[in-house]
Amino acid sequence: MNELQKAAAGLLYDANHDPAVLEMRLQAKVKLHDFHALSPANVTARQAILRSLLGRIGARFTIEGPFHCDYGFNIGIGDDFYANVNLVILDGAPVTIGHHVFVAPNVGLYTAAHPLDAARRNQGLEYALPITIGDHVWIGAGVSVMPGVSIGSGSMIGAGSVVTRDIPAGVVAVGNPCRVLRATTEADARQTRFAKP
């Protein structure tokens, strides 16, 4: 079993010294460098780079730069995706994102984690657990989504939240750690005036 097969199985793997793993991350960094070097007006070339980097990306997407990921091939994104600046996806394990998902600035999706004991951390070992985000999700500014978390369709994650547990579908969830505040309602769909919470 190679190191990325171990990662896919949720086992400890060598993310810091294995030559094959390091080469795959370097290839991703080179593509991201090319992406960032292009003018934002060169939409076609920027999208072509992202399509060559990511495992799957649907129709009609925008990822504002800067954007960073570890490998790219573990990321699958549906149609009508928008990510604002400074999206970071650590994709040692699969990251699956549904259709019509909006991501605010400075969001991190982190599949990677490290052992609690220093000896194994010092060996360069880590593990990765998949992240799944359903359809019609809005993730607010500065949110961190931790390894192994799922966010249900139609939910909204409030700015600054740290999502350490699964979030069900159709809710507003906020905080550190992120907790369900309330279910979304039909009144939300009719709201036309917005005030500070």
pLDDT, tens only, 86-97: 999 999 999 999
Q: Reply yes or no on whether the pLDDT at 194 is more than 90.
A: no
Superfamily of domain 3-190: Hexapeptide repeat proteins (2.160.10.10)
79: enclosing H helix or E strand: none
Cα within 13 Å of Cα(169), Cβ side: 6
Distance CA 171, CA 185 (A): 9
- Give this prediction's pTM: 0.94
Catalytic residue (one of 17, 33, 114, 136): 114
Q: pLDDT value at position 86?
A: 98
DSSP-assigned states of every residue in 128-188? E--EEE-TT-EE-TT-EE-TT-EE-TT-EE-TT-EE-S-B-SSEEEETTTTEEEEE--HHH
Please write the tens of the pLDDT for every residue from 10-24. Answer: 999 999 999 999 999
Distance CA 47, CA 156 (A): 26
Q: Reply yes or no on whether the pLDDT at 185 is more than 90.
A: no
The pLDDT-based confidence of 190 (bands split at 50, 70, 90) is: confident
Distance CA 39, CA 19 (A): 33
Domain ranges of the chain: 3-190
Out of 112-126, 137-151, 152-166, least confident range: 112-126
Share of the chain above pLDDT 70, in %: 97
Distance CA 170, CA 58 (A): 23
Please write the tens of the pLDDT for every residue from 92-128. Answer: 999 999 999 999 999 999 999 999 999 999 998 999 9
- Quick check: is 114 catalytic? yes
